[in-house]
Amino acid sequence: GEDVEQSLFLSVREGDSSVINCTYTDSSSTYLYWYKQEPGAGLQLLTYIFSNMDMKQDQRLTVLLNKKDKHLSLRIADTQTGDSAIYFCAASETSYDKVIFGPGTSLSVIP
Amino acid sequence: DTGVSQNPRHKITKRGQNVTFRCDPISEHNRLYWYRQTLGQGPEFLTYFQNEAQLEKSRLLSDRFSAERPKGSFSTLEIQRTEQGDSAMYLCASIPLASGIETQYFGPGTRLLVL
């Protein structure tokens, strides 16, 4: 089955860019996602990319996909203290299938 | 507030007791999912309903776990003979039938502590 890995911690200064990396194992994963979870808050889908795309940009968020290496990254431009949260990389085979989550990357933004 | 509600929000129980959680999805969301999230981990899929039909169950869902969605609206997740390893956050999510995960919403979760 699918296995999703990501680094556990990232610390950046406010105003810098953050890059969170993720690898997945199952080439049949068609949908790749980034979720955000803040303390005491629910899980929020930030953005997603189809496996036939290389890049997707959404305001301050840029998702890059290297399908050959099964590597996904999330870049947050001009990182703010409000971006401090846990970010989960995730994958699914279809748009309504179960989602396989990575362990999460805890992003700390230093003022 | 995403519109998906879960009750109770917190539950403390003693080992061996039975517990039941409820999820009320967004109205007209036909697909409903249960996930479990332990501390420091990502959510793990437990089971999935389309209307009242339970279409998939994870191997994580042992015979002590049962989930229902009798009228295709709210869903319940029951854990019998709870064990300390069941302590986790139980998350519910829903999606409309005509859409995909881009319209998925998660509830706030039920945090279970088994003593």
Reading chain A (111 residues) residue by residue, the pLDDT tens digits are 789 999 999 999 999 999 999 999 988 888 999 999 998 778 999 999 998 889 999 999 999 999 999 999 999 999 999 999 999 999 998 878 889 999 999 999 999
Which residue reads 């953050």 in tokens?
A18
Q: What is the pLDDT of residue B98?
A: 76
Helix (H, G, I), strand (E, B) or coil at B9: coil
Percent with pLDDT over 90 in chain B: 76
Q: Cβ–Cβ of B45/A99 closer than 8 Å?
A: yes
Cα(B74)–Cα(B63) distance, integer angstroms = 21
In angstroms, rounded to a whole number, what is the distance separating the alpha carbons of residues A60 and A70? Answer: 23
Residues of B in contact with A48 (CB under 8 A): 101-102
What's the pLDDT at A42? Answer: 82
Tell if the CB–CB gap between A98 and B107 is shorter than 8 Å.
Answer: no
Confirm if A105 and A20 have CB atoms less than 8 A apart.
Answer: yes
- Among partner residues B2, B101, B107, which is closest to A48 by beta-carbon distance? B101
Nearest Cα residue to B39 out of A63, A86, A29, A50? A86
Quick: pLDDT tens for B8-47: 999 999 999 999 999 999 988 899 999 999 998 999 999 9
Q: Does B95 touch chain A (CB under 8 A)?
A: yes
Residue B61 has pLDDT above 90, yes or no: no
Output DSSP code: residue A89.
Answer: E
Distance CA B5, CA B35 (A): 14
